[in-house]
Amino acid sequence: MLLADTLGPSWNIITDIQELWSFPFMVNAFRAGSVIAVAAAVMGWFMVLRKQTFAGHTLAVVGFPGAAGATLIGVGAAYGYFAFCVVAALVIAAIPRGGQGDYGHESAATGTIQAFALACGFLFIALYKGFLNGVNALLFGTFLGITDDQVLVLLGVTTVVLVVMAALGRPLLFASIDPTVAAARGVPVRALSVMFLVLLGAAVAEASQITGTLLVFALLVMPAATAQTLTARPALSLALSVAIALAVTWLGLGAAYYSVYPIGFFVTTIAFIPYALAQLVRRGQRVRHRRTQLAGSSA
């Protein structure tokens, strides 16, 4: 309901931004949102490349019992997010993996972990008997009341994640695109995959604090999938993914400020539009390509 009934955007970008940033809480929301968007876009890009969307989604929702459990025992929710997401990353990494055909079994285990984690979150809430708005904020996110300290913590985590990713990036790219050849060339494929899941857990844990555990997945998967649809060149598409995530977060924050609807709705919808357009364009190109091929072969 916040301010929305009294104020609307003036549609003059400069005045609107000046107005948004005249509130310290909005400044902090933009700072935290930007930091999160960069981490989520980079980690999400590798997640999409490695086709680990299900593992990523499971890590994303595991933050919910973490935060609920932390609230129950009376410590900061941030500790719960990080503890649960990183532990879950290690558990998922420990699931024995077979050959190609074993994906079904592996995903059954991942799915069970996810459902059990969410069930624990529900139990913690039932035990806490707290007010229900808290649940919705945990699940669907809130950008209000982010403190300077939180922004610093988020910045610290993102810096660590990005530095480690900068070191791991090349071998991880190799291991993701062709694990067999990478292993033959002495790249520690398995260790890299564990490291990647832990980093993904950390990135998800920080992003969940603002987008909520159910919607953090959108920030991971959508910019990355859009970027990878648009270009096949790794560096370019990674940069594009970060740019899209930043744009989506800023627009989402702006839209959420001026309306009664939650930020999660705006972030997911704004992120989905470029993805849907990119997919349509590519499908159109493929059909045209096939037609020209057919025409060429019949001529």
Binding site for other proteins (CB under 8 A): 1, 48, 51, 53-54, 56-57, 61, 96, 98-99, 101-105, 107-116, 118-120, 122-123, 126-127, 132, 135-136, 139-140, 214-215, 217-218, 221-222, 225, 260-262, 264-269, 271-272, 275, 279
| Residue with smaller CB distance to other proteins, 73 or 126 | 126
Min dist. Cβ of residue 178 to other proteins (A): 19
| Residue with smaller CB distance to other proteins, 6 or 22 | 6
| Residue with smaller CB distance to other proteins, 124 or 153 | 124
Token pair 């949102």 in the structure block, residue: 33
CB contact at 8 A, 216 and 252:
no
If we measure between CA atoms, which residue out of 98, 49, 52, 89 comes closest to residue 204?
A: 89
Min dist. Cβ of residue 279 to other proteins (A): 8
Min dist. Cβ of residue 22 to other proteins (A): 26
If we measure between CA atoms, which residue out of 34, 1, 138 comes closest to residue 26?
A: 34
CB contact at 8 A, 219 and 248:
yes
Min dist. Cβ of residue 61 to other proteins (A): 7
Per residue in 60-84, is it b (16+ CB within 10 Å) or e — as a string? Answer: bbbbbbbbbbbbbeeeebbebbbbb
Token pair 């996810």 in the structure block, residue: 114
| Residue with smaller CB distance to other proteins, 175 or 218 | 218
Min dist. Cβ of residue 114 to other proteins (A): 6
Min dist. Cβ of residue 160 to other proteins (A): 26
| Residue with smaller CB distance to other proteins, 27 or 137 | 137
| Residue with smaller CB distance to other proteins, 161 or 215 | 215
Q: Kindly tell me the burial class for residue 183, based on how many C-beta atoms sit within 10 Å of its own C-beta (0-12, 13-18, 19 or more).
A: middle
Token pair 């001529």 in the structure block, residue: 299
Min dist. Cβ of residue 261 to other proteins (A): 5
Min dist. Cβ of residue 194 to other proteins (A): 18
Per residue in 272-286, is it b (16+ CB within 10 Å) or e — as a string? Answer: eebbeebeeeeeeee
| Residue with smaller CB distance to other proteins, 155 or 272 | 272
DSSP 242: H
Residue 6 CA from chain centroid, whole number: 33
| Residue with smaller CB distance to other proteins, 74 or 99 | 99
CB contact at 8 A, 264 and 286:
no
If we measure between CA atoms, which residue out of 268, 210, 213 comes closest to residue 61?
A: 213
